[in-house]
Amino acid sequence: MVTISSDIATSSRFRYAIAICTRLLEVPVISASQSRMARAALNMGVREVAEAAGVSTNTITRLERGEELLPRTTADIRAALESAGVIFLADGQTTDGGPGVRLAK
């Protein structure tokens, strides 16, 4: 696993690169339930995630309601949660289930 400093992880170029790679690879960024699970695991509120991702609290709420966001916005939120210490698991990466979240070591 690669560790990325918070300065890099919060830069707009890094978040843009993540969004482009996600789009090119056609990898789902994160689901509404993964966002809620990640926040719970990190004990972060909507305001804290929004500030870390550089988006509004309404944007986090929209994501967690299941509304579709721009890929770049979702990538920004994912990058913020990952830099805070979670790893997102795709469908099939867990023993018995769909997409999930776990804490990084």
Neighbours of 93 (CB within 10 A): 13
Three-state secondary-structure class, residue 100: strand
Between CA 24 and CA 7 the distance in angstroms is 25
Between CA 98 and CA 8 the distance in angstroms is 30
Three-state secondary-structure class, residue 105: coil
pLDDT at 15: 72
Which residues of the chain have a pLDDT value below 70? Answer: 1-10, 19-28, 92-97
Between CA 76 and CA 9 the distance in angstroms is 9
Between CA 14 and CA 34 the distance in angstroms is 21
72 alpha-carbon distance from chain centroid: 11
pLDDT at 13: 76
Domains of the chain: 6-103 (1.10.260.40)
pLDDT at 28: 52
